[in-house]
Amino acid sequence: MPVSSAYRPDPRLPDLGPEFADPVAAADFPQTLLRFRNDRAAATVGLDTLTDAEWVAHFGRFQPLPGNIDPPLAQRYHGHQFRVYNPDLGDGRGFTFAQLREVGTDRLLDLGTKGSGTTPWSRTADGRLTLKGGMREVLATAMLEALGVPTSKSFSLIETGEALERGDEPSPTRSAVLTRLSHSHIRFGTFQRQAFLEQPREIVRLVDYVIETYYPELDHAPDRTSALLTAVVERAGTLAASWMAAGFVHGVLNTDNMNITGESFDYGPYRFLPHNDPNFVAAYFDSQGLYSFGRQPEAVFWNLQNLGGCLSMVGEQQPLVDALNGFADAYRGGLAAAMLKRLGLKSRGRDLDAGLVNAAFTALAAGGERLRWEPFFFDWFCGDVGRAMASPRGDIYGGQPFADFRRRVAETEPDRPGRLLDPYFAKAEPEELLIDEIEAIWDRIAAEDDWTDFHAKLARIETARKAWDL
C-alpha cells in the first residue's frame, strides 16, 4: 500500500507476551464485498488514502499493515457475565490487527475485528459475525459519536459470503467482518484472568503496560496501582453518565465488555430509548433487568469493584477503596456535564447544575410515552424556550410538571447558541435511532440487497453530528 505520511504504526500489544494473547490467522472468506468504510476515522490514522481494493485486502483478507502486528493477536481474558464468573472467554471471533498513532493527539489506537474467524477462544462457536449485527454496530457507533458519547468507531464492514445459523434471528443469515477503531481493547476481564490464575507478577506487568501506553501521566505516581484505578473510575463514571444523557442502553454490561480507557464497545443488543423508562432493557435474555437503563451506573460500579479486587493483589487496600469511592462524584459530575452538553447550556456551578439535571429527568418522566427522548433534547437545545414551546410537543412543555425545568432553563446561559442557525434545527423532528427503523433498514438489505436506506441514515446522522457539534 502507498503509505501516507500520517500513518504511524506503533505495535505495543506484542510486548505483553504470550500470557496475554495468541497469534491467529484470519478466516479465508469466500467473498469480500465492501459495504462501509469510515474515511473520516481512517484519516485520523493515515489510512484514508487506501483504494477500495487495498482496503478490502487489509480489512477483508487481513494482509498485514506495514510495520504493524503480524500475525494478529487474539487476546485472553475472563469476565463476569450477568454477574456469573466465566473463565472460558477471550477473543473468540476477533483479534487485534494493528496499533497506530492518532493524528493530532498522538493517542495509541487499536484496530480490532469482529467476525474474522475462529481463535483458540472460540469454543464451539464459528468465529463469525452476522451482516445484520455488523450493520447495527455501524449505525450505533455513528449515533453515539454524534451524541458526544465516548465510543469505539466502526472502521470497516465487509460482507464475507457465508450462510450462518443463529438461534436468535432468521437463519441462514449473511456473514460479515467488522473492523473497529478504539483507544484500547484491554478489558476489565484482562485483569480478572490474571487474578483468577493467581499471577500477581502479570498483573503488575499489565498495570505497567496500561500506564505506559494509555495513562503516561501516571508514570511517576507514588502509588501507580491506585492511581490507575482512580483514572479508570473517572473515565467509567463519565462513560456511564454519557449513556444516561444519550438514552443509550448498552445491554450486556459484563466485565469483559468494558475497556480500560472508557469507550463504549461490545454492545450487541443495544437500544436507544424511545422515551424515558428506567426499567427499559435492550437484551431479550436480561429477564431480571440487571442491565436496564436506570441500573447502568450500578452495573458499571459493580464492574469497577471487581477490577479493584484484581488490583488488590498487587496494591494496598485502602487507596483502592478510596479510588472506588470516587465513582459517585465522577458519575454525578459526568452526568451534569453530559446533560448540559446535550441541552446546549453553560454550567452555573455544581449545585445549580445538579438542580437543572434533576429537573430535566423529572420533566422527561412526567412526559411519559408522549415525550420521546431525543426530541426533548432537540427542542430545548441552547435553552430557546420559545422554540421549544412552538415545537410539536409544546403542549407537553407548557404543563405544570415542566414549570421548574422551564424556569431553570430560562435562568441558564446558552452555550454557542449560533448552532441553532444550522438548518438541522429548522426541522420539526430530530434524527433518532430506534429499533423499528433499524429493522426496516435491515429488511431492505435482506430482501433486495439495497443499501440505500443504510447509507442515507448514516448521512443524516452525520448531519446531526455536525449540527450538535458536541
Q: Which residues are annotated as a binding site?
A: 90, 92-93, 114, 126-127, 180, 187, 257, 266
Q: Which residue from 71, 61, 66 is spatially nearest to 25, judged by alpha carbons?
A: 71
Give me the catalytic one of 88, 208, 219, 256: 256
φ, ψ of residue 99 to 5 degrees: the values are: -130, 135
Maximum C-alpha span of the chain = 63
Query: Per-residue DSSP letters for 58-111?
Result: HHTS-PPPTTS-SS-EEEP--EEETTEEESS-S-SS--EEEEEEPTTT--EEEE
Report yes or no: 126 and 118 within 8 Å, Cβ to Cβ: yes
Q: Give the span between the Cα atoms of 49 and 55, in whole angstroms.
A: 9
Report CA-CA distances (Å) from 223 to 316, 325, 327, 444.
9, 17, 19, 55
Whether 126 and 172 have beta carbons less than 8 Å apart is answered as no
> Please, what is the Cα angle at 250 between 82 and 159, to 5 degrees?
105
Cα separation, 371 vs 376, whole angstroms: 7
Q: Can you tell me the distance from the alpha carbon of 153 to that of 38, in angstroms, rounded to the nearest whole number? A: 9
Q: Which residue has the cell 466485565?
A: 255
Beta-ladder partners of 36:
157
Rounded CA-CA distance 195/193 in Å is: 5
User: Cell numbers of 77, please?
Assistant: 481474558
- CB contact set of 122 (below 8 Å; sequence gap of 6+): 92, 93
Radius of gyration of the chain (CA): 22
Annotation: binding site for ATP = 90, 92-93, 114, 126-127, 180, 187, 266
256 is catalytic: yes
The grid coordinates listed for 240 are 456511564
d(C-alpha 95, C-alpha 406), whole Å: 50
Active site residues: 256
